[in-house]
Structure 1
Amino acid sequence: MIEVKDLHKSFGDAHILKGISTTFEKGKTSLVIGQSGSGKTVFLKCLLGLFHPEKGTISYDGKIYSELSRDQKRELRAEMGMVFQGSALFDSMTIAQNVMFPLRMFTKQSKSEMMDRVDFVLKRVNLADAHNKMPSEASGGMQKRVAIARAIVNKPKYLFCDEPNSGLDPKTATVIDNLIQEITDEYNITTVINSHDMNSVMEIGEKIVFLKDGYKAWEGSNETIFKTDNEAVTNFVYSSELFKKVRQMYIEERQ
């Protein structure tokens, strides 16, 4: 579990995060949503330890990040997996080499042990025959699956995803959503996803944190989001006629 308490982050005179408190539980897919400029990316980078807040704490299963030694922080980072918005694969490496990279960086496993693990995770994301392909030979959806395989190859406790469906067609985006949720359930990972995709919110949003202007304006689930009267949330979520109709149907079914 990740617990965030009264988190503040500024850059010069710009106060980006303004006292955010929330928790992310093991085995659940948690989505952080909000408009551009709401603080989502800064918040995620704080969770990853890339930005250091001026105030507040972030705890990982009871360990407060700011109180850890340098070596302890390195050990914690080895327990984190990250899926970047653009996949961030190394163009000069094969898919297998890309997936192996965290093992080479954080473990002392033998080459055969690393290859066994690479084989396992590529099979898990349905890319069993893609080892020797280059990223340029893979579709956008395949690249996302490679990025997920790389993120889980070191058996992380915490998985972070930044707009994992960016640039994907709706069908492929659903495949990626389902894969992330399945992996979260299987390995009991604490998963946090930055997203603006309302389809993802409705499909896998077991917990949703809505940020607005650096504040946590609302939190709930993909079921309770239909019930909220929070104006900021409804303006964001139901900006399209489709979701307005979905909400009305949801309300009518429960009357």
Structure 2
Amino acid sequence: MIKVKDLCKSFGDLDVLKGVNAEFEKGKTNLIIGQSGSGKTVFLKCLLGLIKPNSGVIEYNGKAYKSFSKEEKREISTQMGMVFQGGALFDSMTVGENVVFPLKMLTKMSRKDREKRVDEVLDRVNLGDIHDKLPSEISGGMQKRVSIARAIVNRPNFLFCDEPNSGLDPRTASVIDNLIQEITHEYDITTVINTHDMNSVFEIGENIIYLENGIKAWEGNKDNIYKTDNKKLTDFVYASNLFQKVRITQRRGL
């Protein structure tokens, strides 16, 4: 679990996060949504330890990050997996080399054990037969699945995803959503997803944080988001005709 208490972050005179409180539960897909400029990217980077907040507390499994020793900070970083917006695969490396990279960097596993683990995670994302292919030789959806395999190869306790469906068609995006949710449940990890994809919200939003101008303006799940009276949230979620139709259908019980 990750617990955030009164988190604030400013850049000069610009207040980006203004006292955000949130809990991201273990074994659930936790989503951060909000318009561009709402603070969700900065929030995610704070959770990852890439940006130091001005004030507030971030707790990982009950212990505040700012109280960690150097060794504990190094250890918590090894417990984090990251799926980047563009996949961020190394173009010059094969799929297998990309996936094994964190194990080489962060563990002392033998070569045999590393290879076994890579086989396991590639099989889990249904890509067991492309070890020797380069990223340029596979589709965008397959690249995202390789990125997920790399993120979980080190058996993380925390999985962070930054716009994991960016650039994907709706069907492939749904596959990625479901895969992330399945892995979250199977491995019982704390997954935090930064997304603007409302299909993801309605499909896998087990816990949703809505940020508005650096403030947590709403929290709930994919079921009760339909019933909210928060006008800014409903305007954001139902901005397209598709979601207006979804809302009407939901209200009518069709």
Q: TM-score scaled by structure 2?
A: 0.98
Matches within 5 A, 1:94-109: 94-109=94-109
User: How many Å apart are 1:155 and its aligned residue?
Assistant: 0.3
Counterpart AA for 2:9: K
Q: How far apart, in 2, do the equivalents of 1:87 and 1:243 lie?
A: 27
RMSD in angstroms over aligned alpha carbons?
0.9
Q: Secondary structure at the match of 2:88?
A: coil
User: How many Å apart are 1:211 and its aligned residue?
Assistant: 0.6
Q: TM-score scaled by structure 1?
A: 0.98
Q: How far apart, in 2, do the equivalents of 1:3 and 1:182 lie?
A: 23
Matches within 5 A, 1:79-158: 79-158=79-158
Q: Secondary structure at the match of 1:175?
A: helix
Counterpart AA for 1:191: T
Once the two structures are superposed, residues 79-123 of structure 1 have per-residue CA deviations (whole angstroms, 9 ceiling, x without a partner) of 000000000001111111110111111110011110000000000
Matches within 5 A, 1:31-110: 31-110=31-110
Q: Secondary structure at the match of 1:217?
A: strand
Q: How far apart, in 1, do the equivalents of 2:93 and 2:243 lie?
A: 42
Counterpart AA for 1:130: I
Counterpart AA for 1:186: E
Q: Secondary structure at the match of 1:20?
A: strand
Match for residue 238 of structure 1?
238
User: How many Å apart are 1:28 and its aligned residue?
Assistant: 0.2
Q: How far apart, in 2, do the equivalents of 1:166 and 1:11 lie?
A: 27
Match for residue 14 of structure 1?
14
Q: How far apart, in 1, do the equivalents of 2:65 and 2:176 lie?
A: 30
User: How many Å apart are 1:246 and its aligned residue?
Assistant: 1.6
Q: How far apart, in 1, do the equivalents of 2:78 and 2:6 lie?
A: 25
In the alignment, structure 1 segments of 5+ residues that lack a partner are none
Q: Secondary structure at the match of 2:43?
A: helix
Match for residue 247 of structure 1?
247
Q: Residue 183 in 1 paired to residue 166 in 2?
A: no
Q: Percent identity?
A: 67
Q: How far apart, in 1, do the equivalents of 2:146 and 2:252 lie?
A: 42
Counterpart AA for 1:234: T
In the alignment, structure 2 segments of 5+ residues that lack a partner are none
Q: How far apart, in 2, do the equivalents of 1:125 and 1:249 lie?
A: 33
User: How many Å apart are 1:71 and its aligned residue?
Assistant: 1.0
Once the two structures are superposed, residues 24-46 of structure 1 have per-residue CA deviations (whole angstroms, 9 ceiling, x without a partner) of 10110011001111111100000
User: How many Å apart are 1:250 and its aligned residue?
Assistant: 1.6
User: How many Å apart are 1:159 and its aligned residue?
Assistant: 0.3
Match for residue 211 of structure 1?
211
Once the two structures are superposed, residues 132-154 of structure 1 have per-residue CA deviations (whole angstroms, 9 ceiling, x without a partner) of 01111111001000000000000
Counterpart AA for 1:45: K
Counterpart AA for 1:94: T
